[in-house]
A and B are shown apart, each in its own frame.
Chain A
Amino acid sequence: MRVLLFGRLGDLAGWRERSFEPPPATLSDLKRLLAAADAALGAALSGPGVQAAIDRAIVRGDAALSPSAEVAFLPPMSGG
């Protein structure tokens, strides 16, 4: 399973793409895993306007993660 961080989230974490094997079962499990490794990133992921997408579709609330899922965390979009 791949995790992508965009915008300031990537700068904050110091990485923009990372694989997780074995994958966490759910999106909330993934967030807990990320927060345990990096508290500042964990806080930012729960910050205002940060959305999550699974396989390039925005999800609200929790969701199950497949082993091949691509999860992206998207801070507020700036427009072009």
Chain B
Amino acid sequence: MIRLTTEPFEPGVELTAFCAGRAETGAVASFVGIARGEGGQATALELEAYPGFTDAEIGRMAEAATARFSLQDVLVIHRHGPIAPGEAIVLVACASSHRREAFEACDYLMDYLKSRAPFWKKEHGPGGARWVEPTPRDLEDLKRWD
């Protein structure tokens, strides 16, 4: 399931719900991304999404991960709008029969989400706000999965 939300969410509650009733699953690996304060340099992070497009693109990548790593289920919850330091930005959880596939699928999905997912990121700091765009390194990293 893919969910975009402008509201803070509780990763532990979401993960508990995702794990419930999985007597035959075996493995769930998860990752939580948390907004960093950068020692006061980042007062807030703002992520702009295109609802209907952003979630559809993430859904396609989740389908690719499901096929590639033989997953039983995937959960992605992603914040957009303003996000304060310390708040969860993203939760990815992957359910599989075996731990290796679950770990790798989380890694794969996070590499995609951090570099290629359709978000536009603005960092607000003491000196004002700036849009963050992919660096040459980010663009090079994308090719790993092509």
Contact = CB atoms under 8 A, between A and B. Distances in A.
Interface of A: 4, 6-8, 11, 49, 53, 56, 72, 74-80
Contacts of A7: 48, 120, 122, 131
B53 A80 contact: no
B78 A79 contact: no
Top 5 closest pairs, chain A to chain B, by CB:
A7-B120, A78-B121, A56-B53, A8-B131, A79-B114
Interface residues of B, number: 25
A36 to B, nearest CB: 25
B32 to A, nearest CB: 12
Question: Counting chain B CB atoms within 10 Å of each CB, which of A6, A11, A78, A80 scores highest?
Answer: A80
B21 to A, nearest CB: 29
Interface stretch (B11-19, B67-75, B99-107, B132-140): B132-140
